[in-house]
A and B are shown apart, each in its own frame.
Chain A
Amino acid sequence: MNIDAKLGLDVFKLDTERHITIDVEICKTVCRTRACLYVCPADLFELDDQGTMTVNWEGCLECGSCLICCDDRALTWTYPRGGFGVQYRMS
Chain B
Amino acid sequence: MEKVDCIVVGGGLAGLSAAYGLASAGVEVMVLERGDYAGAKNVTGGRLYTSVLGDVYPELWEEAAAEGGPFERPVVREAVTVLGDGAATTVELRSDRLAAPSPQSHTLLRAKFDQWLAEKATDKGATIVTGMKADELLLEGGGASGGGATGGGAAAATSRPKVIGIRAGDDEVGADVTIVAEGALGLLASGAGLREQPPAADHARGFKEVVELPSQTIEDRFRVAEGEGAAHLFLGTVTRGMTGGGFLYTNKESLSLGIVVSMEQMRAREDELESWQLLDEFRKLPAVAPLVAGGTVAEYSAHGIPEGGIEQVPRLFGDGYLLAGDAAGLSLNALVTVRGMDFAIASGHSAAQAVLTARKADDYSAAMLAAYDRLLHRSFVLPDMAAARDYPRIIENRRLFTQYPDLLVRQVEALFTVGPGPSPRLLPRLWRGKREIVFDPATWRDLWSMRRL
Contact = CB atoms under 8 A, between A and B. Distances in A.
Contacts of B300: 6-7, 9-10, 42, 61
Interface of A: 1, 3, 6-7, 9-10, 13, 33, 35, 37-43, 61-83, 85-91
B299 A10 contact: yes
Given A41-B302, A73-B151, 4 more contacts: A37-B274, A39-B205, A74-B151, A78-B135
Contacts of A69: 151, 200, 263, 266-267
B408 interface: no
Interface string B43-77: 11000000000000000000000000000000000
A91 B275 contact: no
A6 B302 CA distance: 12
B148 A38 contact: no
B34 A83 contact: yes
Contact of A88 (B39, B209, B263): B39
Given A13-B36, A87-B36, A88-B41, A65 B151 contact: no
List 5 tightest A-B contacts by C-beta distance, closest first. A70-B151, A83-B131, A82-B133, A6-B300, A63-B302
Contacts of B169: 81-82
Interface in B26-45: 34-37, 39-44
Given A9-B300, A79-B187, A90-B254, A39 B267 contact: yes
A62 to B, nearest CB: 7
Contacts of B301: 10, 61, 86, 88, 91
Nearest to A71: B152
B124 interface: no
B111 A41 contact: no
A88 B150 contact: no
A87 B272 contact: no
A68 B210 contact: no
Interface in B294-334: 297-304
A76 B152 CA distance: 10
B203 interface: yes
Contacts of B132: 82-83
Given A69-B267, A76-B148, A88 B110 contact: yes
A38 B275 contact: yes
Given A1-B297, A82-B131, A41 B205 contact: yes
